[in-house]
Amino acid sequence: MQNKLVLAKENKMDRSGLAGQIIDEITACTGWERPVVRDQVLREMKQPGSTQIQEALEQGLDFHVYNSAMDRFYKTAKSFIFVLSVDFYSKERQTLIGRVKERLQQYLKKMPDDYKIKILMFGDGIGGDTLFLHSFFKERACFYYFDVPGSETFRYALKRFQLHGVSVKILTDYSQIPSGAFDALISLEVLEHLPDPLTAIGDFRRFLRMDGIAIVSECFQGVCDQYPTHLRSNLKYAGKTPFLFLKKGLMLDYYARQWPLLFKPMEFVKREAVTALDWIRLSTDPCVIALFCRWWVVSRRSVS
């Protein structure tokens, strides 16, 4: 009778079987008890972000502040696994990763058929984006994965790669990521978590070969209770991302123009040098300026 009630609950939450699929994968990769995993997954599907908020409160985390507690949370928190597993199948995330796939397809058209590009998946957490893109480009690309080494999400991603038989090169030391080695870098919803996103953007350029691309999305403005690890110190960058990248030598070459996921993602290209004309072009792009002005007004209101 109890098993029937469990199945009925799962079916009610997700008739397509998605909940069961997520539960099965987490159970297989972690060895955690299925009832515990099931409760967390169903809770996350009903209230996105709730599992992470609970764990953050239990650990006494200072929301939106990077300190030793936040650093420890990134390494030890299990809730990221549930949050990211469920979020990957949201309409917004599927749209975003679908657009990334399209941009990679366009990039590969410029390459010789026998050329295999190198893609750095920067901050891919539980490896969902890597697995998705690998399924389409495994014959044309070599994937490199980097996230917080030794963290719960890092270990879970490695188990997923093994479970699905996916060949991915694992990078475990940030300082050893090679310069000028990658044709493409993909970093989705990562920069808002970093205590120094400007240095990270500069490193993105360093990691790329000349004319390589960085496909990026961010949520600097998303500082709210649902996202306790989005840093308040990064609010000042909201609406400025294209300018931050240009300042570091990466030029905006494409951005999604469809609402509501405007600018998700953006694509930047590494050039030899940035010119005054590059600044003029960016500063006269109506959507870029509208985005900048929107968040400038919001920031001024929050200050006053």
Q: What is the pLDDT of residues 121-165, one digit of tens each?
A: 999 999 999 999 999 999 999 999 999 999 999 999 999 999 999
pLDDT tens-digit readout, 200-223: 999 999 999 999 999 999 999 999
Task: Report yes or no on 51 lying in a domain.
Answer: no
Range of the domain at 39: 2-46
pLDDT tens-digit readout, 243-300: 999 999 999 999 999 888 999 999 999 999 999 999 999 999 999 999 999 877 666 6
Map tokens 């963290």 to a residue. Answer: 151
- Residues 252 and 140 occupy one common structural domain: yes
Omega before 178 within 30 of 0, i.e. cis = no
Among residues 174, 209, 292, the alpha carbon closest in space to that of 244 is found at 292
- Residues 16 and 114 occupy one common structural domain: no
- Residues 32 and 98 occupy one common structural domain: no
Task: Report yes or no on 60 lying in a domain.
Answer: no
- Residues 42 and 102 occupy one common structural domain: no
Among residues 193, 303, 210, the alpha carbon closest in space to that of 249 is found at 210
- Residues 17 and 109 occupy one common structural domain: no
Task: Report yes or no on 223 lying in a domain.
Answer: yes
- Residues 141 and 41 occupy one common structural domain: no
Task: Report yes or no on 170 lying in a domain.
Answer: yes
Q: Which two tokens stand for residue 176?
A: 């050893």
**Number of domains, the chain:** 2
- Residues 42 and 139 occupy one common structural domain: no
Q: Kindly report the CATH number assigned to the domain that includes residue 254.
A: 3.40.50.150
Sign of the four-CA dihedral 168, 174, 176, 179:
positive
Map tokens 């991302």 to a residue. Answer: 241
Q: Which two tokens stand for residue 65?
A: 């502040």
